[in-house]
């Protein structure tokens, strides 16, 4: 009987050791998950900054494209005006040859 009690005690102590080890591993995993969560938050902030810069860059590029069109529109308008002037009677305006 005492041998059975001794075996049961040993088994119980072994189970307790396994449970302690498992608990320690769970704590370590929990810490790693917290670290990953913090890293993900940092990455999310960085992506937000990159997105904002990208949007600003796109707006600047759009603005530059629009600004580049202004002189072209002025030239077209001037050429149309010159053409209309040249077609008027008694006009002394001549269109440049290209």
Give the model confidence (pLDDT) of 29-86 as tens digits: 999 999 999 999 999 999 999 999 999 999 999 999 888 888 888 888 888 888 887 7
Q: What is the Cα–Cα distance from 93 to 84, expressed in whole angstroms?
A: 10
Which residues, 6 or more positions from 95, have their beta carbon under 8 angstroms from its beta carbon?
79, 82, 83, 86
Q: What is the Cα–Cα distance from 37 to 42, expressed in whole angstroms?
A: 9
Report the candidate in 63, 41, 44 with the shortest Cα–Cα distance to residue 52. 44
Cα 18 to Cα 14, 26, 28, 29, 57, distances in angstroms: 6, 12, 15, 16, 58
pLDDT digits (tens, 9 = 90+) for 7-37: 889 889 999 999 999 999 999 999 999 999 9
Q: Name the band, by pLDDT with cuts 50, 70 and 90, for residue 94.
A: low
Q: pTM for this one? A: 0.51
């Amino acid at each position: 009987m005492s041998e059975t009690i001794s075996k049961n005690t040993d088994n119980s102590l072994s189970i307790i050791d396994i449970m302690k080890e498992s608990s320690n591993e769970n704590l370590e995993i929990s810490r790693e998950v917290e670290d990953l969560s913090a890293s993900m938050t940092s990455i999310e902030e960085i992506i937000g900054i990159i997105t904002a810069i990208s949007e600003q860059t796109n707006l600047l590029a759009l603005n530059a494209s629009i600004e580049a069109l202004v002189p072209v529109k002025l030239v077209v308008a001037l050429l149309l005006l010159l053409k209309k002037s040249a077609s008027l009677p008694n006009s002394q305006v001549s269109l440049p040859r290209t």
